[in-house]
Every structure is written in C-alpha cells, then in structure tokens.
Amino acid sequence: MKIVMLGAPGAGKGTQAKQIAGKYGLPHISTGDIFRANIKNGTELGKEAKKYMDQGLLVPDELTVRLLLDRVSREDCKNGYVLDGFPRTIPQANVLDEALEKLGDQIDYAIDVDVPDENIVRRMSGRRACLSCGATYHVAYAPPKKEGICDTCGSELVLRDDDKPETVQNRLHVYHEQTQPLIDFYARKGVLRTVDGTQAVEDVFEAICKILG
C-alpha cells in the first residue's frame, strides 16, 4: 500500500501519516528526514543535496526523487510506505510516477486532509513553543497550566515566526499555487480520497482507516 499525504501546512497530515504508518506497519517517509539521514551518513546523494541546501536553494526534483527511490527500494518498504511532504508540485509527481512505472509500481492512495484556510490560521497562530525544552502548546486546544509558561521546564513560551498569521498566510498562498493542483492530478488517476481535517485527530484517523480498510 503506497500512500501520498496531501493537505495544507498545519492541516495535520504529518500526525495522520505517523498514525497510518504505526497501524499498518509501513515506514513514514518525509523528504526532510531523507535529506538529513543522507547528509549525516555522508552518502554521495547526501553530499549532492547538501550543496544546494548550504546555498539556501531547493534540492532539484530529479535529485529529490533519486533520494526517495533509494529510500523506498529498501527492505522495510516492500509492503508499501506513507509519503509525507512529497510530491509538492506537479513536476515532482510526474517524475515520481515515471520512476515508479519503470519499477512496475504506482501510488495506491493520495489522501487529502482538507481544512479551510481560516481554520489553519487559527490553529497555527494559537501554537506556543518552549525554546528551552521543545514542548509545544496551543492557547485553545492544549494550553499550559500557567499562561505563557512551559509546564515542563518553567521557561517562557513564544509564538514562533513560522506560526505568525502573516507567515501562515504566505505559506498557504504557496500551497494553493504549487501543491493544490496535485489534488486534481491524483483525482484524474482515480486514487484521491478526501477526509474532513476539521474533525478531532482521532476522527480524522478513523475516516482514513475506513478508506484504507
């Protein structure tokens, strides 16, 4: 079972990807993790990717797909995998499809965790982080015991730049421009399934499990 997770930043697709991986015994594969692992291990592909990352450039699609195929060719992926954060664009999806086709393979499900923009802005701008110990909170859904103070280590909580409403709006704009077309791409292939991401995390997961069986 080969699954691609789709959804805007903050829709909760990463959380769902981890739960799917746990329930079905599939590796949860994110391109960020692949880059980091290859760079850490000093592989040839890692060295190539690092050249781009050190300059603040995006790793080209062709190289990203090579890294991805190297990862999915491993023994733990023989029954499938959950892709989180890739593909992000139509060109990436095309390169991935072509590469899988050569292996006589294809994506089985593209699961779109659908959440309206205003919900995402509300969700993300309510996040608070402790820079000392890494704990995270949400002013509405998971507040600390004492406002603005970390339960774990007592440090001050902050609103990260990434979670500020204007940053979230920018990220959503990029998503709608570049990534949302993937929804049509996978719909045309007949593998798209959409779940309502505004529900509680466990209800979203239950809806996904019904799809996957």
The residue from 13, 71, 123, 128 that is catalytic is 13
The residue from 2, 71, 88, 123 that is catalytic is 88
- Whole-number Å distance between alpha carbons of 35 and 23: 25
Active site residue 193: no
Q: What value does the CA radius of gyration of the chain take, rounded to a whole number of Å?
A: 18
Active site residue 13: yes
* Closest C-alpha among 76, 84, 75, 83 to residue 106: 83
Active site residue 88: yes
Query: What is the DSSP pairing of strand 81-84 with strand 136-138?
Result: unpaired
In contact, 202 and 121? CB cutoff 8 Å: no
In contact, 58 and 64? CB cutoff 8 Å: no
The residue from 18, 164, 171, 193 that is catalytic is 171
The residue from 47, 146, 160, 210 that is catalytic is 160
Residues designated catalytic? 13, 88, 127, 160, 171
